[in-house]
Structure 1
Amino acid sequence: MAIANSLMNPRLVEGLKTIVFDNDGVLIDSYEANMVYYGTIRSELGLGPMTEAEKYYVHTRTHEEAVRHIVPADRLEQAFAIGRTMNQADLAPYFKRSDGIREFLWWLRAAGFQLAVNTSRGESMNLVLKLTDLEGFFHPVITSCVVSKPKPHPEGLYRIMEAHGVRPDEVAYIGDSVVDQRAAQAAGVRFWAYRDPALDAEVHVEDFWSIRAAMQRCYKGCAPAF
């Protein structure tokens, strides 16, 4: 295990061609938005607040998995109907771009890296990227809507590697949950944990300024000034 900083062993970041990002909790801080969304569904159904374990679950899983986990089986149809009436744009005030992420993405692109997203989020992903001014950085953007098996299955990472023409050892996946960890392990790619020291990761990233500094020792790039 290593902590990402300018003194980290550069061999840990050498040989990379593709950087893949999880969305919720990595590219953006969407925790509050998810709590509002799923909390509203439970409230509309007359159910009590979510437990801490339920909050963690809904923040890391697909929409369908999350709803099925926090709503009784006989209320699922109602729950999904409530979800369909909620406008994701109304949650915009609760979406916050992670500090330093846009600057890190600019630097990665300037340094020649290919960038992609592998997320459990579904149809709302394009809107989230637009709301947080992160459109145009990633290809492909793999959501739960375009895979037959969502994370932790490695299908999404396999599709990214095929699209980029890279080997598993040339890919780093930055995630913040055990679901991301398992997906990376199943695909054989490097796993970098974002702000969770309990995860089993090759590199632990506390912030995007630090991982950028670590990578600059191996890769040359010139990000635009902000």
Structure 2
Amino acid sequence: MALANPIMNPRLLEGLRTIVFDNDGVIVDSYEANMVYYGTIRQELGMPPMTEAERVYVHTRTHNEAVRHIVPTDKLDRAFEIGRNFDASLLHPYLKRSEGLGEFLWWLRDAGFNLAINTSRGTSMEMILDLLDLRGFFHPVVTSDKVSVPKPHPEGLNWIMRDHGVRPDEVAYIGDSIVDERAAVASGVRFWAYGNPSLNAAVHISSFWDIKSAMQGCYKGRVLTY
């Protein structure tokens, strides 16, 4: 394991062609938005605020999994109805692009890397891309409603590899949760942990500025320069 910085071992970056991003907690700082959304569902059902463990769970799972985890079975129909009728624009003030992400994406694209997303988020991913002015950077954008089995199942990452025509050793998946780590392991790709030092990852990223500097130091386009 290594911390991303300009003097890290460049061999850890060797052979990459595709960089895949998780969304929540990586592309976008959406923690507060998720807490407002799921907290509203609980509140309208007359339930108490979520526990800390429940807050962690809903931030890293699909919408379906999250709702079923924090709502009793007899209230699920009403919970999903509240979710369908929720005004997503109320969450916009709580959503922001992660620091340094835009500059990192521009550099990766200019250098010739393939970019994709593999997320537990569903149809709201389109809204996120528009809101943060990120449309056009990623292909494919694999969401939980596009796969038969969501993360940590490897279906999403396998789809991306087929689409890009790359092998697992040519892919790095940037995530922030144990679900992302398990998805990477299941598909055989490299796992880079963003903002979560407790995860088992080949590279730990504390900021996108740092990983950008590290990659700039050893790549000219997708060709290693060391």
Same fold (TM over 0.5): yes
Q: How much does 1:65 deviate? A: 0.2
Aligned-residue sequence identity (percent) comes to 71
- 5 Å-filtered alignment, 1:82-101, equals 82-101=82-101
Aligned to 2:224: none
In the alignment, residue 213 of structure 1 is paired with which amino acid? S
Quick one: distance in 1 between partners of 2:163 and 2:218? 25
The corresponding residue for 2:202 is: 202
Aligned to 1:215: 215
The letter of the residue matching 1:192 is: W
Amino acid at match of 1:40: T
Unaligned runs of 5+ in 2: 222-226
Show CA shifts across 1:92-135 (max 9, x none): 11101000001100000000000000000000001011101111
In the alignment of these two chains, the number of paired residues is: 221
Distance 2:88 2:168 in 1: 34
Q: 1:196 and 1:17 mapped to 2: Cα distance?
A: 24
- TM norm structure 1: 0.97
Q: Provide the residue aligned with 1:78 in structure 2.
A: 78
1:47-126 matches, within 5 Å, as 47-126=47-126
TM superposition shift of 1:57: 0.5
Q: What's the CA shift for 1:90?
A: 2.1
Matched residue, 2:24: 24
Query: How big is the shift at 1:89?
Result: 2.2
Paired AA for residue 196 in structure 2 = D
Cα distance in 2 for residues equivalent to 1:135 and 1:21: 14
Q: In 2, Cα distance between the equivalents of 1:140 and 1:90?
A: 27
CA distance in 2, matches of 1:113, 1:6: 19
The residue type paired with residue 89 of structure 1 is S
Matched, 1:169 2:169: yes
RMSD, matched Cα = 0.6
In 2, Cα distance between equivalents of 1:89 and 1:219: 40
Output one character per residue of 1:130-179: Cα deviation in whole Å (capped at 9) or x when no partner. Answer: 10111110000000010000000000000000000000000000000000
In structure 2, how many angstroms separate the alpha carbons of the residues matched to 1:97 and 1:193?
17
Amino acid at match of 1:212: K
Q: Distance in 2 between matches of 1:218 and 1:154?
A: 29
Distance 2:75 2:145 in 1: 23
Distance, in Å, in 2 between the alignment partners of 1:45 and 1:6 is 50
TM-score by length of structure 2 reads 0.97
Give the partner amino acid of 1:51.
T
2:5 counterpart residue number: 5
Please state how far the C-alpha of 1:203 moved relative to its aligned partner: 0.2
Q: Partner of 1:138 in structure 2?
A: 138
Give, in angstroms, the shift of residue 33 of structure 1.
0.3
Match of 1:184 in 2: 184
Structure 1 residue 37 corresponds to structure 2 residue 37: yes
Q: Which one-letter code corresponds to 1:47 in the other structure?
A: M
> In structure 2, what is the Cα distance between the partners aligned to 1:51 and 1:129?
30
- 1:220 Cα deviation from its structure 2 partner: 1.9
Matched residue, 1:224: none
